[in-house]
């Protein structure tokens, strides 16, 4: 069944992990985006579709222009806002983005056709778990994962195979509105699978000798992972 827009919304975005006043301050300071991206932000807000918040956008535009990746993979397209934002920031980059939701796919396709930056973007339709396996043999120097959070740890080995040594992987929304720092007994039923999945992800990457890790309190939290070896192995029980 196709999800309605409101089912897509992330209630944790209304529970900022840093002081609300600071979030608002950061959003006021941010440099203005091109009008077409502002229009997409306004559409997403009206339709209650979760896209990366303004402070994460500002970080991405800064970081990506420093990193200058040539090939980018995104998991979680929604209406195509973040893919178009990355394309606008990096006119030379090729972007592959994955989504499984027919309603979002339709909107993303329309947006990619409307704007010049869409020419840099290829949308792959389907379940990310399958598509990541199909992409085997390709490499991306930057990967952004913004999809169903309980699956992040399941995607991890395939994502790392798609990165070269030195490549960067960012997972979005890893703080569960602050619940992530609580004891498991305090987590409400509907959020427990995500909580467990995210903690497994942290356990897999945090002390790994071949990965460098950093957490950033932007939006609902970013986990940044840098691949520091040609190949990265995990014990199956850790995934
Ligand atoms: C938060 S939205 C992405 C927002 C987008 N990155 C942006 O900032 O503009 C998450 C999207 O991930 C997609 N998604 C979630 N789990 C997925 C999966 N396992 N495979 C493919 N797509 C998935 C959903 O359909 C939804 O459109």
- Cα separation, 80 vs 69, whole angstroms: 19
Whether this prediction's pTM lies above 0.85 is answered by: yes
Question: Does 64 have pLDDT greater than 50?
Answer: yes
- Cα separation, 83 vs 94, whole angstroms: 10
Write out pLDDT tens, residues 13-50. 678 899 999 999 999 988 899 999 999 999 999 999 99
Question: Does 7 have pLDDT greater than 50?
Answer: no
Name the residue with the closest Cα to ligand 1, atom 7: 51
Element (H, E) at 111: helix 102-114
Confidence label for 8 from pLDDT (cuts 50, 70 and 90): low
Question: Does 133 have pLDDT greater than 90?
Answer: yes
Give yes or no for residue 49 CB within 6 A of ligand 1. no
Tell me what pLDDT residue 12 has: 66
Give yes or no for residue 82 CB within 6 A of ligand 1. yes
What is the average per-residue pLDDT within 72-98? 98
> Which of 78, 82, 85, 143, when mutated, tests ligand 1's pocket best, judged by the most ligand atoms within 8 Å of its CB?
78
Confidence label for 237 from pLDDT (cuts 50, 70 and 90): confident
Tell me what pLDDT residue 2 has: 41
Concatenated DSSP letters of 49-97: -----HHHHHHHHHHHHHH--SEEEEE--TTSHHHHHHHHH-TT-EEEE
Give yes or no for residue 12 CB within 6 A of ligand 1. no
Q: How many CB atoms lie within 10 A of CB 177?
A: 17
Residue whose entry in the numeric block shows the structure tokens 């930056």 = 117
Name the residue with the closest Cα to ligand 1, atom 4: 51
Tell me what pLDDT residue 11 has: 63
Q: Which atom of ligand 1 is nearest to the CA of 51?
A: 8
Write out pLDDT tens, residues 174-188. 999 999 999 999 999
What is the average per-residue pLDDT within 72-92? 98
């Amino acid at each position: 069944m196709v999800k309605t827009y409101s089912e897509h919304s992330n209630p944790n975005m209304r529970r900022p992990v840093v002081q609300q006043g600071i979030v608002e301050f950061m959003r006021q300071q941010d440099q203005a985006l091109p009008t077409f991206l502002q229009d997409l932000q306004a559409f997403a807000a009206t339709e209650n579709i979760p896209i990366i918040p303004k402070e994460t956008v500002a970080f991405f535009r800064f970081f990506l222009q420093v990193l200058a990746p040539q090939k980018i993979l995104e998991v979680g397209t929604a209406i195509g806002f973040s893919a178009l934002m990355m394309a606008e920031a990096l006119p030379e980059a090729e972007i592959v983005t994955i989504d499984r939701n027919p309603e979002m796919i339709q909107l993303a396709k329309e947006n990619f056709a409307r704007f010049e930056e869409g020419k840099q973007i290829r949308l792959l339709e389907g379940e990310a778990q399958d598509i990541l396996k199909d992409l085997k043999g390709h490499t991306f120097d930057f990967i952004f994962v913004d999809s169903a959070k309980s699956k992040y740890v399941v995607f991890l080995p395939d994502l790392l195979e798609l990165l070269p040594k030195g490549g960067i992987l960012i997972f979005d929304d890893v703080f569960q509105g602050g619940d992530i720092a609580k004891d498991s007994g305090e987590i409400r039923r509907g959020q427990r699978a995500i909580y467990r999945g995210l903690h497994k992800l942290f356990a897999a990457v945090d002390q790994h000798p071949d990965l460098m890790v950093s957490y950033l309190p932007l939006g609902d939290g970013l986990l940044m992972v840098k691949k520091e070896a040609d190949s990265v192995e995990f014990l199956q029980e850790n995934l």
